[in-house]
């Protein structure tokens, strides 16, 4: 077993020397080895198997991260950064012979600056803690995802997390003003900028956001704070064609402007499955339609924004864009509408083993893709199930596919069909989950050789020894 | 004279060989040398002197840019990319012995995709042309600046242009989804992405946006299109303290939410100068106040948004936040209010020779900075004039300073006072204009040595021969 290679009693002198140097620099409590290594540090939420790291480092400050990185580099040992370990693509999963560097003890909000509307926070802080601190200070953190209680804000940035409200607030990247980062050589690059405008030299933060811990370890972050929404309006709508859906999207962009906070489309197979088979989900609409969409807007003042939303919806109905619509009359309605969209969390129970995909496509191509992908899957596997839904205003489509009754899901073959069509339609194989290990082989389906060469060149420039999260992404 | 070194009859065989190779690859019309070089390609809008480049290349397509770059690299000759040449810091100004590569013939909109709400455009296209094309397609390009008729969209991105509405739409960077770039070795990296969400590998575009043509030459761009604003509301307000100004800013963020499109603050010396000395500017307020602010919101529908704005303003007055306010009753009023803010364009006539600065500061520190900077300038030069105004919600402050009657403005000494205080207050020496050549010596006042080292490392990785816009920024 690979694991046993890493037990300290069997590890060679080199490992013992490394551990001693790390304990000397970081303190014994910050260096876990052998049986002391928690199982949680052996994997993330991907389907990859567990792998015990050589050691787990748990520094409590930036200097500790820098020292750990520097000492590992001196010993030629790789480092895998870990946050909340909720990633879906293996970005934080240990690799053979590497030390895991966990940010779990680098938690806490350092400062909230109401005038600049910024929060300075340590990278290991759970997203939910960040959200709550903003809320208590009278502000709002729009970044939100299912793993909010476990995921770390540093990990959210290293994967450039998305979520439901990207159409309004952008990706995690757009919510960051400043970063502190430890480079693979252990040097610390600090730019805790609070200004929306800062054009003094290269904007280095974007190099680290979304590069999945392969170029540097994010240790501190300056986040933008947003005003709390004053009210939320929502409707579920049905349309008779994808053309009408595009018309509805553009009408929402125009009529709701920057208040538009979600435009979540569900194709009929998805709609039928969740409304008929997921317990507790009720169907707010009657009949069968070409597409269903949950539209949400966040306003500042219900007195102005609720009538605006209703007027806008009525106009769409009168203009013949909508086949049917249900307007939320209460917060309970809003939650019930989101229940249809969030029912995808129940697919393991409802569908059994299945494959999930997080792809992106130009909006105009999406319905053609859905048809082509469903047909291709059913042509290869007669009884294939393929459900399509996603954040269509952002160009993000989720796919759930399976072959019911198969003794093992034909993972690679399904992925090959999904990603070959992504390539054909000019889309992306990862809209929000990243590449990590699990999608790396497919990356050439969506990025050209000159792009990949430039990524490798950046990796070599920042990490010439290939010691930081090696083998991930590029 | 330096220029004469570059005249073809005196240039050595090496230059003639280079010109021949360029003419062979690009055609004669794309390679201007000697007296055929237009004066406009010898400088930008900075105060730097003109310098004739070795040649001016004017390719008509990406392959031409790539060939020009490749051939120059083979000959060890540097290349300075040029767009509309409206930059204020010398980023596009030729350097000794370099070829200027002008994007002036790479113009035109290639595609507007209404479903994705994107425009694909060639980098040499003037910003105004881009704005008009969006308008004709029913969309809106929020990027706007005074040089709109001359500046090129590629140049806007290479400097990550700002402008008046950053508080709502972000910097130019935030308006870009995809880029095509020619690297210093002549290879072409194309990612004309149209999706808001795309996490497949490193996000390379941010490396080139804001790096002022030192890492690659932007050739094509996918821009986000926004819905056209349906209505514009504006007010000019006065407050009795900077604390009240911050309270007003936070009330605007909350009450106007993402409709807030400008929060332009003017300090009393600025206000007095423009309302009393600039012809055609009228003062919409009476009396003297601690700070003046122009607040603008862009709405979707006047029926809802105009009453909202007025209600919000009335509440601020009733809450004692405002000392005085004037609400625009017409588009003419909106324009008159902006006239006070835009009157800074008349400073050459009103003040005579003066120095202008574009700095950034944390919002909370701004008023202290204004006091400290004014005092320091007057302490050094008894009759110094210092006017302060800017996009305060974005952390961006503009300063105009001069010593009336001085035989020559003490440029370096004024800059030293301004930037030393920027350093002390944790600000930036460039909020939106970039670094180019003119601010390069001051860059260490705002970026640390590890940051500068990382910038140099990126430059070396992408441009190991230092042939693309050498000597700029880093």
**pLDDT tens digits, B117-174:** 999 999 999 999 999 999 999 999 999 998 999 999 999 999 999 987 999 999 999 9
Cα distance between residue A108 and residue A450, in whole Å = 41
The answer to whether B258 contacts A255, with C-beta atoms less than 8 Å apart, is no
The yes-or-no verdict on residue B12 having pLDDT over 90 is no
The yes-or-no verdict on residue A436 having pLDDT over 70 is yes
- Domain extent listing, chain A: 2-105, 109-227, 231-345, 354-450
pLDDT tier at B5 (50, 70, 90 boundaries)? very low
Residue of B nearest to A170 (CA): B196
Residue of B nearest to A396 (CA): B197
**pLDDT at B163 (0 to 100):** 82
Using the Cβ of B241 and the Cβ atoms of chain A, whether some distance falls under 8 Å is answered with: no
The yes-or-no verdict on residue B4 having pLDDT over 70 is no
**How open is the CA angle B426-B431-B435, to the nearest 5 degrees?**
100
| Strand B99-102, strand B55-57: pairing | parallel
The answer to whether A301 contacts B307, with C-beta atoms less than 8 Å apart, is no
The yes-or-no verdict on residue A10 having pLDDT over 80 is no
- What value does the mean pLDDT take over residues B207-225? 98
**pLDDT at B354 (0 to 100):** 96
Smallest Cα–Cα separation from B289: which of B315, B263, B316, B271?
A: B271
Phi, psi of A206 (to 5 degrees): -70, -20
Q: At what angle do helices B242-256 and B366-380 cross, to 10 degrees?
A: 140
Residue A107 token pair: 């938690």
CATH no. for B2-105:
3.30.43.10
Give the nearest partner residue to A115 out of B166, B246, B360, using CB atoms.
Answer: B246
pLDDT digits (tens, 9 = 90+) for A13-41: 899 999 999 999 999 999 999 999 999 99
What ipTM was estimated for this complex?
Answer: 0.96
Give the nearest partner residue to A258 out of B188, B215, B258, using CB atoms.
Answer: B258
Using the Cβ of B173 and the Cβ atoms of chain A, whether some distance falls under 8 Å is answered with: yes
**pLDDT at B2 (0 to 100):** 42
**Residues B154, B170 contacting (CB under 8 angstroms):** no
Q: Choose from B145, B188, B198, B244 for mutation: most chain A CBs within 10 A.
A: B198
From chain B residues 108-137, the ones with a CB under 8 A of any chain A CB are: 113-117
**pLDDT at A447 (0 to 100):** 98
Q: What share of chain B is helix, strand, coil (3-state, %, to 5)?
A: 40, 20, 40
The yes-or-no verdict on residue A47 having pLDDT over 60 is yes
Domain B231-345 shares a fold with domain B353-450: yes
Sign of the torsion angle spanned by Cα atoms A377, A379, A384, A389: positive
Using the Cβ of A441 and the Cβ atoms of chain B, whether some distance falls under 8 Å is answered with: no
* A465 DSSP 8-state letter: T
pLDDT digits (tens, 9 = 90+) for B413-427: 999 999 999 999 999
The yes-or-no verdict on residue B6 having pLDDT over 70 is no
Phi, psi of B128 (to 5 degrees): -60, -40
**Chain B residues touching residue A458 (CB < 8 angstroms):** 202, 207, 458, 461
Phi, psi of B13 (to 5 degrees): -60, -35
Q: Choose from B170, B201, B419 for mutation: most chain A CBs within 10 A.
A: B201
Q: Smallest CA–CA separation between B49 and chain A, in Å? A: 23
The answer to whether A196 contacts B394, with C-beta atoms less than 8 Å apart, is yes
The answer to whether B300 contacts A256, with C-beta atoms less than 8 Å apart, is yes
pLDDT digits (tens, 9 = 90+) for B13-43: 899 999 999 999 999 999 999 999 999 999 9
The answer to whether A174 contacts B170, with C-beta atoms less than 8 Å apart, is yes
- What value does the mean pLDDT take over residues A131-145? 97
The answer to whether B200 contacts A249, with C-beta atoms less than 8 Å apart, is no
* A167 DSSP 8-state letter: H
Topology adopted by domain A109-227: 3.30.465
- What value does the mean pLDDT take over residues A267-283? 96
The answer to whether A204 contacts B253, with C-beta atoms less than 8 Å apart, is no
3-state secondary structure (DSSP) of residue A346: helix
Cα distance between residue B34 and residue A208, in whole Å = 45
The yes-or-no verdict on residue B7 having pLDDT over 70 is no
pLDDT tier at B307 (50, 70, 90 boundaries)? very high
Ordered DSSP codes for A173-209 = GGGEEEEEEE-TTS-EEEE----S---SS--THHHHT
The answer to whether B206 contacts A201, with C-beta atoms less than 8 Å apart, is no
**pLDDT at B11 (0 to 100):** 60
Q: Smallest CA–CA separation between A378 and chain B, in Å? A: 27
Sign of the torsion angle spanned by Cα atoms B108, B110, B114, B115: negative
From chain B residues 346-405, the ones with a CB under 8 A of any chain A CB are: 360-364, 391, 393-396
pLDDT digits (tens, 9 = 90+) for A201-259: 999 999 999 999 999 999 999 999 999 999 999 999 999 999 999 999 999 999 999 99
Residue of A nearest to B367 (CA): A115
CATH no. for B353-450:
3.30.70.2740
Give the nearest partner residue to B189 out of A187, A300, A450, using CB atoms.
Answer: A450
pLDDT tier at A11 (50, 70, 90 boundaries)? low
**pLDDT at A163 (0 to 100):** 82
Residue of B nearest to A157 (CA): B199
pLDDT tier at A3 (50, 70, 90 boundaries)? very low
Q: Smallest CA–CA separation between A190 and chain B, in Å? A: 7
- What value does the mean pLDDT take over residues A37-56? 96
Specify which residues A296 forms β-bridges with.
A234, A262
Topology adopted by domain B231-345: Alpha-Beta Plaits (3.30.70)
Residue of B nearest to A183 (CA): B454
Using the Cβ of A173 and the Cβ atoms of chain B, whether some distance falls under 8 Å is answered with: yes
Ordered DSSP codes for A89-113 = SSTTS--TTPEEEE-TT---EEEEE
**Chain A residues touching residue B174 (CB < 8 angstroms):** 170, 174
Q: Smallest CA–CA separation between A108 and chain B, in Å? A: 22
3-state secondary structure (DSSP) of residue A414: helix
Cα distance between residue A455 and residue B204, in whole Å = 8
**Residues A229, A218 contacting (CB under 8 angstroms):** no
Smallest Cα–Cα separation from B100: which of B11, B159, B33?
A: B33
Using the Cβ of A469 and the Cβ atoms of chain B, whether some distance falls under 8 Å is answered with: no
Cα distance between residue A291 and residue A275, in whole Å = 14
3-state secondary structure (DSSP) of residue A325: strand
Using the Cβ of B314 and the Cβ atoms of chain A, whether some distance falls under 8 Å is answered with: no
The answer to whether A254 contacts B228, with C-beta atoms less than 8 Å apart, is yes
CATH no. for A354-450:
3.30.70.2740
From chain B residues 34-93, the ones with a CB under 8 A of any chain A CB are: none
Cα distance between residue A122 and residue A116, in whole Å = 18
């Amino acid at each position: 077993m690979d694991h046993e290679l890493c037990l300290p009693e069997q590890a060679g002198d080199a490992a013992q020397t490394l551990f001693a140097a790390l304990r000397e620099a970081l303190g014994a409590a910050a260096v876990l080895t052998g049986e002391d290594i928690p199982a949680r540090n052996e994997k993330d939420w991907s389907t990859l198997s567990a792998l015990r790291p050589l050691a787990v480092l748990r520094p409590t400050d930036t200097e500790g991260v820098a020292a750990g990185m520097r000492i590992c580099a001196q010993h030629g040992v790789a480092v895998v950064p870990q946050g909340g370990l909720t990633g879906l693509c293996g970005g934080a999963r240990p690799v053979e012979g590497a030390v895991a560097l966990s940010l779990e003890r680098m938690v806490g909000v350092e400062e909230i600056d109401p005038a600049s509307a910024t929060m300075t926070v340590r990278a290991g802080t759970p997203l939910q803690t960040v959200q709550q601190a903003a809320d208590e200070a009278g502000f709002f953190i729009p970044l939100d995802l299912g793993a909010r209680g476990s995921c770390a804000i540093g990990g959210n940035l290293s994967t450039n997390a998305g979520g439901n409200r990207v159409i309004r607030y952008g990706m995690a990247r757009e919510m960051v003003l400043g970063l502190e980062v430890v480079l693979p050589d252990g040097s610390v690059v600090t730019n805790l900028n609070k200004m929306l405008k800062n054009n003094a030299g290269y904007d280095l933060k974007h190099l680290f956001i979304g590069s999945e811990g392969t170029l540097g370890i994010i240790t501190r972050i300056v986040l933008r704070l947003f005003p709390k929404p004053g009210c939320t309006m929502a409707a579920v709508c049905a349309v008779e064609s994808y053309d009408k859906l595009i018309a509805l999207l553009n009408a929402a962009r125009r009529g709701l402007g920057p208040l538009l906070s979600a435009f979540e489309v569900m194709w009929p197979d998805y709609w039928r499955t969740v409304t008929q088979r997921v317990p507790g989900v009720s169907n707010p609409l009657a009949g069968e339609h070409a597409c269903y969409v949950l539209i949400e807007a966040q306003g500042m003042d219900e007195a102005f924004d609720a009538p605006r939303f209703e007027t806008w919806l009525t106009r769409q109905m009168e203009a013949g864009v909508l086949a049917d619509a249900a307007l939320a009359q209460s917060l309970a309605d809003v939650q019930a509408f989101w229940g249809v969209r969030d029912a995808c969390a129940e697919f393991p129970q409802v569908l059994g083993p299945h494959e999930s995909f997080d792809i992106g496509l130009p909006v105009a191509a999406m319905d053609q893709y859905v048809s082509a992908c469903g047909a291709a899957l059913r042509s290869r596997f007669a009884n294939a199930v393929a459900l399509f839904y996603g954040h269509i205003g952002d160009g993000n489509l989720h796919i759930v596919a399976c072959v019911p009754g198969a003794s093992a899901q034909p993972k690679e073959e399904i992925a090959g069909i999904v990603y070959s069509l992504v390539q054909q339609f000019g889309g992306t194989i990862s809209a929000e989950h990243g590449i990590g290990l699990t999608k790396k082989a497919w990356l050439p389906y969506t990025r050209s050789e000159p792009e990949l060469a430039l990524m490798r060149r950046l990796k070599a420039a920042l990490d010439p020894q290939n010691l930081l999260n090696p083998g991930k992404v590029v």
